[in-house]
Amino acid sequence: MLDLRTARVAFLGFGNMASAMADGFIRSGILSAGQLGAASRRQDVLAERTASRGMKAFATCEDAARWADIVIIAVKPHLVAEVVSPIKAVLKDKLVLSVAVNKLFDDLEGVLEAGTRHLSTLPNTPVSVCEGIVICEERHSLTSDDEAAVRALFGALGLCLFVPAKIMPSAGTLSGCGPAFAAMFIEALADGAVKHGVPRAAAYQLASQMLAGTAKLQLATGQHPGVMKDAVCSPGGTTIIGVAALEKAGMRSAVIEAIDAIVSR
């Protein structure tokens, strides 16, 4: 059984997403920096990123995989086979987690040796501050002990949610692309406040905290977002005027169309 107090985790590829996950693991305390390592083609960038976090840097993916108990495949989707195939014998006895977008169970079965314990996941960047999402494919080859360890590991980064393969792309679009949309909303809210005299730094603080607070309120209460909206809209009040303006501008349809555009690309 994996003991997360001593387990060693290696990233194959150490770009923005892998770096965000490493930051979240360290911040949460679920893993120490000494339990984390990474390998990447860009050795100069790897050295800088690992040194700043106190992690281990490896010259090759094979070296990283041999050292680790848990291996996280964090390369671009089109590189998965190229990176994994030469070291699949090493990965046979490891717990293998993939964060490569839309590389699901069947894809990994095609490049890993039969019997390898593996799981496909889609994290988002807020995992770096332990307020993220890690969507996991329901179909996997983990043992029950492995799954318990994964739930604890990813639960430390925020919300860990297992979903059927058929909705992985759309769920991943919402959670993975959504931070960009949320950042645009924060920027737009702040711009509106700045237009009316609020200093820029204060406007960003107010917009971000408002969004974070509203999201946490919904998660804590489970209320329908429409009910939450109605609770702020007094008859003839100021908020409903703003809601009407957003509706006129097509905010809802624009957001839905953004999700549609990504999923159907």
Same domain, 187 and 136: no
Domain boundary among 163, 186, 208: 163
* Residues 255, 132 within the same domain: no
Pairwise CA distance, residues 173 & 177, whole Å:
5
Q: Is residue 78 one of the residues assigned to a domain?
A: yes
pTM (whole model) above 0.85: yes
CATH classification of the domain holding 34: 3.40.50.720
* Domain-located, residue 1: no
Task: Calculate mean pLDDT across residues 165-186.
Answer: 96
Please check whether residue 259 lies inside any domain of the structure.
yes
Please write the tens of the pLDDT for every residue from 35-87: 999 999 999 999 999 999 999 999 999 999 999 999 999 999 999 999 999 99
Residue 99 domain-assigned (yes or no): yes
Given a contact cutoff of 8 angstroms between Cβ atoms, the answer to whether 122 and 168 are in contact is yes
Both 48 and 123 in one domain: the answer is yes
Residue 265: predicted pLDDT: 83
In a domain, 141, yes or no: yes
Domain count, the chain: 2
- Residue 136 CB-half CA count within 13 A: 23
Q: 239 and 158 share a domain?
A: no
- Based on the domain organization, do 177 and 124 belong to the same domain? no
Of 163, 183, 198, the residue that ends a domain is: 163
Q: Are residues 20 and 143 in the same domain?
A: yes
Identify whether residues 193 and 211 lie together within a single domain. yes
Residue appearing with tokens 């985790």: 9
**Per-residue pLDDT, 11:** 98
- Mark whether 199 and 249 lie in a shared domain: yes
- 253 and 218 belong to one structural domain: yes
pLDDT digits 0-9 by tens, 97-154: 999 998 999 999 999 999 999 999 999 999 999 999 999 999 999 999 999 999 999 9
Tokens encoding 47: 């050295």
Q: Which of 135, 163, 191 is the last residue of a domain?
A: 163
Rounded (to 5) percent helix, strand, coil in the chain: 60, 15, 25
On whether residue 31 sits in a domain, the answer given is: yes
Which domain range does residue 38 map to? 9-163
Specify if 4 maps to a domain: no
| Three-state helix/strand/coil letters over the chain | CCCCCCCCEEEECCCHHHHHHHHHHHHHCCCCHHHEEEECCCHHHHHHHHHHHCCEEECCHHHHHHHCCEEEECCCHHHHHHHHHHHHHHHCCCEEEECCCCCCHHHHHCCCCCCCEEEEEEECHHHHHCCEEEEEECCCCCCHHHHHHHHHHHHCCEEEEEECHHHHHHHHHHHHHHHHHHHHHHHHHHHHHHHCCCCHHHHHHHHHHHHHHHHHHHHHHCCCHHHHHHHHCCCCCHHHHHHHHHHHHCHHHHHHHHHHHHHCC
Instruction: List pLDDT tens digits, range 1-38.
Output: 789 999 999 999 999 999 999 999 999 999 999 999 99
Do 254 and 131 share a structural domain? no
Return mean pLDDT, the chain. Answer: 96
The CATH number that applies at residue 184 is: 1.10.3730.10
- The reply to whether 42 falls in a domain is yes
Q: Are residues 148 and 176 in the same domain?
A: no
Same domain for 201 and 158: no
